[in-house]
Homo-oligomer: A and B are copies of this chain.
């Protein structure tokens, strides 16, 4: 704490938990990306909204950059602190503040892990339907900052749809109380929606009122082996028509290969190039029969070659594991990740072009695809061979990402579907947003954060 600025902060907030321990700087200065060397000035652990406000006012006065910090499960470097910033960890602000059974809202602090939010909702017989594999580690404040998507978007939409109110501290230390849980509020620009997805560059989310909903009816999970890329969208269209879908995910045989190597059980005797995991309402015999009819129809059309349907929660979990285990099974290979989206209708043409590009540019690398095909969202993971040096690997992948951007632009897509722009995708922002849009974003950023201290260098 030799830094005079930190001494000033400690004087102003004697109760603030603040650390400059080198292990903490290392730990809290990085997220799931591993490309930047953490070098923050200090880590602050505020316990109250007042403390967050006071930290930002201090940072504003001292010209110190602020990195809001949640579960740091991000994949775009949005929570990296590598330039003498103060990291504001929300770890200690992790409680439920209120539940209202009539409004069906849960008011929470931003540091609550997503899984804890799920649990709190279930205790009241309701659900918070945003869900994805990092649920145990990610925090709801970070989910809001990135408008997190995940595996239930096809039914429930993104995080944006579930935020009824937000308290935010701006770059000038103002505390905003946005929308306050109202369902209808036509009183000018909805600043809440501007904050959602802003990656900490406009302010820090210090409280959120989440909308909850009734649990869905009982469901079943079906795994399908799909022999060809063209068939994927046909199966999707047919499934959406016949069933009430809760999820519709796909992955390739290469993805399955890694999950199996990580301990999962092979589902079918034959290897298939593509697989679909879909979850659908199955509350009565008619709905269950519809799923079987779907399977038989797709089999008859040659769009699927094999299938399995869950008849217990354990079986459902086992089928889900084949999809949800992918990211973890790849982690040891330090994959370079693309997270792209197009309109659903553009998926087949885009996938063809993308496959051709990847085959041409990555002949020597193991490329693993999976994604939320019902949302037009594809994840591409390029695994780093052990004998290729980190920098060379990333440089080659970034070259391909530039080409991928051209393909995306041609198909009207986005270089970031749900991971956010952060540091990793910043060079490619211009492929998805026009110059005029980026100029407006910069202008808005300057209004909210005139000193440029809120997560600088990220996104813009």
Interface residues of A (CB under 8 A from B): 100, 102-103, 105, 146-147, 149, 153, 157-158, 160-161, 170, 174-178, 180-191, 193-194, 196-199, 202, 233, 237, 341-345, 372, 375-377, 412-421, 425, 429, 432-434, 436-438, 440-441, 443-444, 446-448, 459-460
Contact = CB atoms under 8 A, between A and B. Distances in A.
29 contacts: A100-B343, A102-B233, A103-B344, A147-B186, A149-B186, A153-B183, A153-B184, A180-B343, A180-B412, A182-B343, A182-B376, A182-B414, A182-B417, A184-B414, A185-B341, A186-B419, A186-B420, A188-B197, A188-B198, A188-B199, A188-B429, A189-B198, A189-B444, A190-B196, A191-B440, A191-B441, A193-B194, A440-B448, A444-B444
A344 B183 contact: yes
Instruction: Say how many copies of this protein the assembly contains.
Output: 2
Q: 6 smallest A-B Cβ distances: which pairs? A: A443-B447, A193-B193, A102-B345, A184-B417, A174-B436, A185-B414
A427 to B, nearest CB: 13
B417 A342 contact: no
Contact of A184 (B102, B345, B375, B446): B375
A447 B189 CA distance: 13
Contact of A440 (B185, B416, B447): B447
A366 B211 CA distance: 37
Contacts of A196: 190
B188 A459 contact: yes
A88 to B, nearest CB: 20
A149 B183 CA distance: 10
Given A102-B233, A345-B100, A437-B178, A186 B444 contact: no
A158 B334 CA distance: 43
